[in-house]
A and B are shown apart, each in its own frame.
Chain A
Amino acid sequence: MTTSTHQTTPVLAIPTPVARAATAAGAALTLGSTFLAWTWTSEFPGDLTVTGYPGGLQVLTLIGAALTLLLTLSGYGIKGLRWLTPGGSNSPVRLAALGALGTMGFTVGAISVELGGVVNLEPGAWIGLVGAIITVAASLGLPHDQNITDTTEPTALERFLNSLRAPTPGRPKELPSWAEILIIVAAFGIGLFVATYGIDTAYPELFVGYLIITGFAVTALFKAGLMARLSALTTKYRSIAVAAAFVAAAVFPFTQNTDQYTLIAVNILIFATVALGLNIVVGLAGLLDLGYVAFLGVGAYTAALVSGTTASAFGVQFPFWASVLTGAAVSLVFGVVIGAPTLRLRGDYLAIVTLGFGEIFRIAVGNLDGVSGPRVTNGPNGVPNIPDLNFFGYNFGESHTILGFELGAYANYYLLMLLAMILVVLVFSRAGSSRIGRAWVAIREDETAATAMGINGFRVKLIAFALGATLAGIAGTVQAHVQSTVVPEMYVFAGPVPPNSAFLLAAVILGGMGTISGPLIGAALLYMIPAKLQFLSDYQLLGFGLALILLMRFRPEGLIANRRAKLEYHETDQLDVPDETLAGTTSGTTKAGA
């Protein structure tokens, strides 16, 4: 429905009806092609040789094409489909078309490269590719969804980027509340399906295709205004939405037949939980902690040493609840010991001290081996043979059948880790929206003004820092049992395997500082990309760096923007904004109070 928006010259000068029809036709063509054979040999993973039903990357292309088609039909104003695009329909069509072309093009490229030449493509692939190109080209002939009031003549790139912008949707029609709740449940069901699909991707090509199509499709749904509708609903039924999210997460292990992908999921949960804890420190209180993983290590080592393993220097076996409390307490003590002297200072001291602490921790546990120092941690060999948990006879190391589903060992730990994550989410959201949370943000915004408003900066920062350390410590106690071995090299500043301090920070920044879902998504991406694309290993950090640079350039607030950051970086529809007025004041702290 473009009636309420201004029509601006599209990127390509095609009459709108023609463009719309061609978009639909192209999408239909691509869609049809996914039922044909794309290559002649099943050497290419996913078996794209079958005519009759799609497989592997064809499914992803099919989803892209189908979404494009649906959005285009919604653009025609077809009844029953209009709810898809409450914002604008043309920019989502363009994005979905780009997504379809992306997966299609990637598949064609991958087949040609891996099998050695375009001769390996069957006609079906060519049909799909041509269809996808037609779709994108025609969609560029559709009018803009949002009129850009810019007097200067835009360049081609600007025109293209503008064509992807869409207005925020108006207020939705009231639905009965059971319907709204059903929508939330359905949305989280879809979310679970998408996440599970990603974790279960069996070969790198499929994962790349998955990233391409989900990236474009999610953006398209954002532009269509569907996500805004959904987030309005989740705000309205907050507790239901939170419950639905956790139920969806808890269902995951029941969808798995083997432990292979559950292990990935457990590790994602550990990484994400720790990233969320770090988000309290970095995102809320604005304290740059470069050695956060050490607190995870403190918790893990503590749990390992009291777990009753023969490798422990202490011959004790604590019940799990006691070892969680011990791990949390020891991490808390370390947090206070590191924080107390440094948090009195302003500026970058904390970053340097925490960086140092992270390294000292790793080296120290590497040296407490009975040779260089007292024998506590077995040095580089770490603490192996950490026994599996046992709750009232429920052994976490064994498979159990629940509700007719076989739950493997990692599924048990997955559910336990999910509980730990719920705890951290609860702490984050409750602390964040309270007096202490406001004090953290105030300190982050302007420490001088905050202290002048009566906030004891040191105290409040120490609470944030110690709380972050404690939460990481709790995650560490679970991690020790999941891994059954802890070694110093798990807790480095930067390394190929998350969680490490650099990746934790990256997950927070990539996902969105100060939000709950941001670090979770950031952590999931940062864990899955290296795990799924192992062939990239040499270029992984390079790509990671590039991705961060691009992100900072185009989306400085991270993938998920919190309300503040959204207003902060993209204040398009605010009137009379004095942009400069506060710009200089927050940074100039040298002249206190001036």
Chain B
Amino acid sequence: MNTMTTTTPETATTVLDASGVTMRFGGLTAVRNVDLSVKAGEIVGLIGPNGAGKTTFFNCLTGLYVPTEGKVSYKGTVLPPKPHLVTQAGIARTFQNIRLFANMTVLENVLVGRHTRTKEGLWSALLRGPGFKKAEAASHARAMELLEFIGLQDKADHLARNLPYGDQRKLEIARALASDPGLLLLDEPTAGMNPQETRVTEELIFAIRDMGIAVLVIEHDMRFIFNLCDRVACLVQGEKLVEGTPSVVQADERVVAAYLGTPFEGAPGADEVAEVEAAEAHSTTRTEGETQ
């Protein structure tokens, strides 16, 4: 499948380039040989039925999992599989199950997001020189700016755990933005939201894109995805089935079939089968029972 090169403009620089990412858990291959690239200024969607491996793919990108095979590069440099280094490099993320620092305040959550962009260590904290005060003030200002951006500036002193659900999702985005990323990974940012909140989130993501941050977003809400994204990739059982503009993906009957639960074996075209076999041939020594 060479969709990548055919559907996106060549002009923009590539922010994220994942190639041949494979993740196996024992006998289960959750992600199989997935290639995906995101260019500057793009919003890319990642869809797929439950258990398709979308979150696992995110975890491979952000270093929470060490991919069994494949490599991930950000703006041309290969990323080490260490989450803090990935964030340092410029990729920030949110989580499908909200993972805020529940007992820290809203403001503190965002300040933690600033961690990689500030330097003050223990000594500077103990000695409290002018540099420390300046850096703290700058971090506070930036954090408040981000809270204003998502509209939570009035709740800066609340505990994160006491926020309503929708606000928690927004706060996760603000916390991720605090690390000044070049690429933002959103794992189901509208899960559990009502249609109105979803609309707001959509606007928010557009605004983030306009700030010059590329976005890769996982979502089950198709209307949301097709509205939002410049390009959509569909994962099914760990493999990338199709990738293209929303209209192309929307029209693809394999995607529809995958969501409706038609057995996978019947769906893929011959080229994919060949691709899978080729990948398998030179990547594994033993043929794992492909259970799913």
A564–B122 touching, CB < 8 Å? no
Residue of B64, B97, B126 near A452 (CB, 8 A) is B64
Residue of chain B at shortest CB distance from A586: B102
A439–B115 touching, CB < 8 Å? yes
CA distance A565 to B98 in the complex (A): 20
Between B101, B118, B165, the greatest number of chain A beta carbons within 10 A of the residue's beta carbon is seen for B101
How many chain A residues touch B (CB < 8 A): the figure is 44
Between A442, A452, A456, A584, the greatest number of chain B beta carbons within 10 A of the residue's beta carbon is seen for A452
Residue of B59, B128, B165 near A593 (CB, 8 A) is B59
CA distance A578 to B165 in the complex (A): 7
A581–B165 touching, CB < 8 Å? yes
Residue of B58, B104, B118, B162 near A435 (CB, 8 A) is B118
CA distance A430 to B136 in the complex (A): 12
- Contacting residues, chain A, for B103 (C-beta < 8 A): 441, 445, 564-565, 567-568
A577–B162 touching, CB < 8 Å? yes
Does B224 touch A at the CB level, under 8 Å? no
- Contacting residues, chain B, for A157 (C-beta < 8 A): none
B118–A585 touching, CB < 8 Å? no
Does B95 touch A at the CB level, under 8 Å? yes
- Contacting residues, chain B, for A454 (C-beta < 8 A): 83-84, 87-88, 113, 115-116, 179
B115–A455 touching, CB < 8 Å? yes
Does B231 touch A at the CB level, under 8 Å? no
- Contacting residues, chain A, for B160 (C-beta < 8 A): 582
Given A446-B99, A584-B97, decide whether A438 and B111 contact each other with a Cβ distance below 8 A: yes
Total A-B Cβ pairs within 8 A: 153
Given A431-B125, A448-B64, decide whether A438 and B104 contact each other with a Cβ distance below 8 A: yes
Residue of A434, A438, A467, A585 near B99 (CB, 8 A) is A585
- Contacting residues, chain B, for A571 (C-beta < 8 A): 159, 162
A497 to chain B, nearest CB (A): 32
Does A525 touch B at the CB level, under 8 Å? no
Residue of chain B at shortest CB distance from A514: B103
Residue of chain B at shortest CB distance from A576: B164
CA distance A439 to B116 in the complex (A): 11
- Contacting residues, chain A, for B176 (C-beta < 8 A): 453
B44 to chain A, nearest CB (A): 19
Q: Digit string of A418-449 for contact with B (CB within 8 Å is 1, else 0)?
A: 00000000110011001111110110011011
A452–B125 touching, CB < 8 Å? no
CA distance A300 to B160 in the complex (A): 43
B98–A585 touching, CB < 8 Å? yes
B159–A564 touching, CB < 8 Å? yes
- Contacting residues, chain A, for B132 (C-beta < 8 A): 434
Does A451 touch B at the CB level, under 8 Å? yes
Given A434-B120, A451-B84, decide whether A445 and B102 contact each other with a Cβ distance below 8 A: yes
B98–A445 touching, CB < 8 Å? no
B112–A438 touching, CB < 8 Å? yes
CA distance A449 to B93 in the complex (A): 9
CA distance A436 to B126 in the complex (A): 10
A332 to chain B, nearest CB (A): 12
Does A450 touch B at the CB level, under 8 Å? yes
Interface residues of A in 552-594 (CB under 8 A from B): 564-565, 567-568, 571, 574, 576-578, 581-582, 584-586, 588, 592-594
Does A291 touch B at the CB level, under 8 Å? no
Does A519 touch B at the CB level, under 8 Å? no
- Contacting residues, chain B, for A442 (C-beta < 8 A): 101, 104, 112, 115
Residue of chain A at shortest CB distance from B112: A442
A194 to chain B, nearest CB (A): 32
Interface residues of B in 82-96 (CB under 8 A from A): 82-84, 87-88, 92-93, 95-96
A592–B65 touching, CB < 8 Å? yes
- Contacting residues, chain A, for B142 (C-beta < 8 A): none
Does A463 touch B at the CB level, under 8 Å? yes
Does A457 touch B at the CB level, under 8 Å? yes
B125–A585 touching, CB < 8 Å? no
Given A436-B125, A437-B125, A455-B115, decide whether A449 and B99 contact each other with a Cβ distance below 8 A: yes
- Contacting residues, chain A, for B96 (C-beta < 8 A): 594
- Contacting residues, chain B, for A448 (C-beta < 8 A): 64, 83, 99
A188 to chain B, nearest CB (A): 25
A592–B64 touching, CB < 8 Å? yes
Contact-residue bracket for chain B: 35 or more
- Contacting residues, chain B, for A594 (C-beta < 8 A): 55, 59, 95-97
Does B261 touch A at the CB level, under 8 Å? no
Residue of B59, B84, B101, B108 near A446 (CB, 8 A) is B101
Between A427, A453, A565, the greatest number of chain B beta carbons within 10 A of the residue's beta carbon is seen for A453
B126–A431 touching, CB < 8 Å? yes
B64–A593 touching, CB < 8 Å? yes
- Contacting residues, chain B, for A430 (C-beta < 8 A): 125-126, 128
CA distance A592 to B58 in the complex (A): 11
Does B175 touch A at the CB level, under 8 Å? yes
- Contacting residues, chain B, for A451 (C-beta < 8 A): 64, 82-84
B125–A581 touching, CB < 8 Å? no
- Contacting residues, chain B, for A434 (C-beta < 8 A): 120, 124-125, 132, 136
Residue of chain A at shortest CB distance from B102: A582
- Contacting residues, chain A, for B112 (C-beta < 8 A): 438-439, 442, 450, 453, 455
A585–B97 touching, CB < 8 Å? yes
- Contacting residues, chain B, for A582 (C-beta < 8 A): 98, 100, 102, 160-161, 168
CA distance A594 to B118 in the complex (A): 28
Does B26 touch A at the CB level, under 8 Å? no
Does B121 touch A at the CB level, under 8 Å? yes
CA distance A438 to B110 in the complex (A): 10
Does B139 touch A at the CB level, under 8 Å? yes
Residue of A449, A455, A576, A592 near B100 (CB, 8 A) is A449
- Contacting residues, chain A, for B122 (C-beta < 8 A): 431, 436, 463, 467
- Contacting residues, chain A, for B99 (C-beta < 8 A): 446, 448-449, 452, 585-586, 593
CA distance A157 to B48 in the complex (A): 55
B159–A592 touching, CB < 8 Å? no
A424 to chain B, nearest CB (A): 12
Interface residues of B in 114-144 (CB under 8 A from A): 114-116, 118, 120-122, 124-126, 128, 132, 135-136, 139
A593–B58 touching, CB < 8 Å? yes
- Contacting residues, chain B, for A584 (C-beta < 8 A): 97
Does B62 touch A at the CB level, under 8 Å? yes
CA distance A455 to B162 in the complex (A): 24
- Contacting residues, chain B, for A426 (C-beta < 8 A): 126
* Interface residue ranges, B against A (CB under 8 Å): 55, 58-59, 62, 64-65, 82-84, 87-88, 92-93, 95-105, 108, 111-116, 118, 120-122, 124-126, 128, 132, 135-136, 139, 159-165, 168, 175-176, 179
* Interface residue ranges, A against B (CB under 8 Å): 426-427, 430-431, 434-439, 441-442, 445-446, 448-457, 463, 467, 564-565, 567-568, 571, 574, 576-578, 581-582, 584-586, 588, 592-594
Q: List 25 A-B contacts (CB under 8 A).
A: A426-B126, A431-B122, A435-B114, A435-B115, A435-B125, A436-B125, A438-B112, A441-B108, A442-B101, A445-B104, A450-B101, A451-B82, A452-B87, A454-B84, A454-B88, A455-B115, A568-B103, A578-B163, A578-B164, A578-B165, A582-B98, A585-B99, A585-B102, A592-B59, A592-B64
Give 9 closest A-B pairs by Cβ, nearest first.
Answer: A454-B116, A434-B125, A454-B87, A445-B101, A449-B99, A451-B83, A582-B102, A593-B64, A593-B59
